[in-house]
Structure 1
Amino acid sequence: MNSWFPPAAKPKPVENGIKARSKRGAIAQTWWSERFIQVLESIVVGGRLQRGRTYARKGQVIELAIDAGEVTATVQGSRAEPYRARVGLAAFEPGAWARVDEVLAGDAWYTAKLLAGEMPADIEEVFTSLGMSLFPASAGDLSMTCSCPDWSVPCKHLAAVFYLLAEAFDDDPFAILAWRGRERDDLLKALSALRNGPAAARDTAAADATAGSTAAGGAAAGGAVPLTECLDSFFAAPRPAPRRTPVPAPSDAVLDQLPAIGVTVRDISLVDLLRPAYRALGRGQPAMDDPEDPLR
């Protein structure tokens, strides 16, 4: 019996395309990229998922760019002209990001993780508590287009983009936040200012204003001052570093920064068990002599 359809055309090979590191099995390696792939696999059916992985592993994606609100890519298919693919996801407004910054800065656990370049495992809960969703919850959260003639959305070209996005998120979890409208440097700068208090925020704003005025003054004068004319001041600090007065804190304050552990001994939480020991150490006495020990 003759088939009504011709065999599928093979994609044209690409030199120096973006290839997925994974050669078989799952592509996502971290929990945050797995969350993203779960959305893809919930909306793609049939062989397009497999063909998308094949495209990603063969290097058929030529370019991939992540910007606030959209991911754009060019994907080489069977035709001479590469296809243009786009995956849109709404970026959060500055006001929404300001609320996220305040919550993240209020918890030393989140701040330490993010400053170390790691994505906190429960960061989704921060967004959820504010009525926001870090990851797309369904296909309805995404706008997807491809210039290929395939009627199905997402097509195999978009699926390939999804898989390479997952690996990009493995390499840099901040790329997820950038897609939602928050660049890494801007986020860390805001967290540092909020953690250090209003004075740090004012210092940051003053430094930005000074830099802008200096740049404007240099432009008005016809450009930057030649190095030979400013050697005496080139390596000097533009202004004295702000003096910080350490704020005394109880010796057990660090326990309040821990995430919820959920471990109990004799119906007493682990944090409450540790607290007397921390207080005793702060007073310079053996922990076993502390009268506040709940197990005494």
Structure 2
Amino acid sequence: MTEGPWWRERGPTRPLRVEGGLKARSTRGAIGQSWWSGRFIEVLESLGVGGRLSRGRTYARAGQVISLELSAGSVTGRVQGSRPKPYDVRIGVPTFGKPEWGRVEQAMADSAWYAAKLLAGEMPPDIEEVFTSVGLTLFPASAADLAMDCTCPDQAVPCKHLAAVIYLLAESFDDDPFGILALRGRDRDTLLEHIRERRAPAPEAQPDAGASADLPPAEPGPPPLTECLDRYYAPAGAPPVFAAPAVPVTALLDQLPPLELTVRGRTLPELLRPVYRSLAEG
């Protein structure tokens, strides 16, 4: 009789307990409270790995994850299983290069809404749309965008050790949603610095010092005050009349961000335009 692998011969085993391990805050139900952590799990489920994630929920809540580190394009962790030596876990995600991040940062800087939210330390709930607008996806778009590996003998991917790390990674996005962007290759400080630079006004061009000799002579300045005291308070002429620019009364509605709210198939700006016009005529 041919003997099978050792892990198939043994019955169900319990993982060795860990002192001071990382534990999920959630004790029941879904793990992760914010939209971005939920979206991360939702994307993984849509890629066909969601059915195997539940295997690691118990590990995540029991504190079997010893360490979890996130860097650009990679998440690594150590998980204690039933064997004395912890398993090494790695999750890889493709990062965006400078050209791709340049397009994303410019799109964020061009929108006062996104720029204000991000510079205030908040993650806009529709941040995915910025990436979509420049032809990119914030979260993995297919299983090919995920590389998962664990040193355990389990052939399933993800195994319970990988799944435990994924759950804790998703929950970490509750504390720092910018971790999602860091995983794609742009840390928070660099992102915000680049947005500020792109929104700053362009410096005025300075004249070339070598060309000053070709400039016409400067015109004389005003006379000293002592020479014009007798006419200092006399009007120099009629003040100019400035006409206010013609602005449509509904211009404010054009500045509203896109809203999903509709009434009988009509958007909120469409419903308010007649009211604004009536107020202006009255």
- With normalisation by structure 2, the TM-score equals 0.73
Q: 2: CA distance between counterparts of 1:45 and 1:273?
A: 43
Find the aligned partners of 2:146 and 2:265 in 1 and give their Cα distance: 46
| Mapping for residues 1-296 of structure 1, pairs under 5 Å | 5-42=9-46, 43-44=48-49, 48-199=52-203, 255-263=253-261, 269-271=267-269, 289-291=279-281
| CA-CA distance at 1:82 after TM superposition | 0.8
* 2:44–2:50 contact (8 Å) kept in structure 1: no
Mark the CA change 1:270 to 1:44 in structure 2 (over 3 Å): closer, same or farther: closer
Structure 2 Cα separation of the partners of residues 268 and 140 of structure 1: 41
Structure 1 distance, partners of 2:141, 2:73, is 15
Q: How many Å apart are 1:120 and its aligned residue? A: 1.4
Judge conservation of contact 1:109–1:258 (CA < 8 Å) in 2. Answer: no
Rate the CA distance shift 1:57–1:288 in 2: closer, same or farther, 3 A: same
Q: Which blocks of at least 5 consecutive residues in structure 1 are unaligned?
A: 203-247, 279-286
Structure 1 residue matching 2:75: 3-state secondary structure:
strand
Deviations 1:41-86 (Å, cap 9, x if unpaired)? 343376x433300000011111111100100111111111111100
Q: Distance in 2 between matches of 1:97 and 1:161?
A: 27
Report deviation, 1:254: 6.2
Deviation per CA, 1:149-184: give whole Å up to 9, x if none. Answer: 111111110000110011011111100000000110
Distance 1:273 1:259 in 2: 15
After TM superposition, give the deviation of residue 290 of structure 1 in Å: 1.4
How many pairs align? 233
The residue number in structure 2 matching 1:208 is: none
Q: 1:254 to 1:119 in 2, by over 3 A?
A: farther
Give SS of 2:43's match.
helix
Provide the secondary structure at the position in 1 that maps to 2:152.
coil
d(CA) in 2 for partners of 1:61 and 1:154? Answer: 15
> Which one has the largest radius of gyration?
2
> In structure 1, how many angstroms separate the alpha carbons of the residues matched to 2:155 and 2:61?
23
Aligned-partner SS, 1:290: helix
Q: CA RMSD in A?
A: 2.9
Report the CA distance between 1:260 and its aligned residue.
0.8
TM-score, structure 1 length as denominator? 0.70
Q: 1:277 to 1:102 in 2, by over 3 A?
A: farther
1:187 to partner: Cα distance:
0.9
Alpha-carbon contact 1:60-1:77 (below 8 Å) kept: yes
| SS of residue matched to 2:88 | strand
Cα distance 1:51–1:264, how it changes in 2: closer, same or farther (>3 A)?
closer
In the aligned structure 1, how far is the partner of 2:159 from the partner of 2:267?
A: 51
Q: In structure 1, give the amino acid aligned to 2:129.
A: E
Q: In 2, distance between residues paired with 1:40 and 1:156?
A: 15
- Any idea what SS the aligned residue of 1:153 has? coil
**Deviation at 1:117?**
2.2
Q: How far did 1:9 drift?
A: 1.4
| Corresponding letter in the other structure for 1:13 | R
In structure 2, what is the Cα distance between the partners aligned to 1:79 and 1:16? 18
SS of the residue 2:107 aligns to: helix
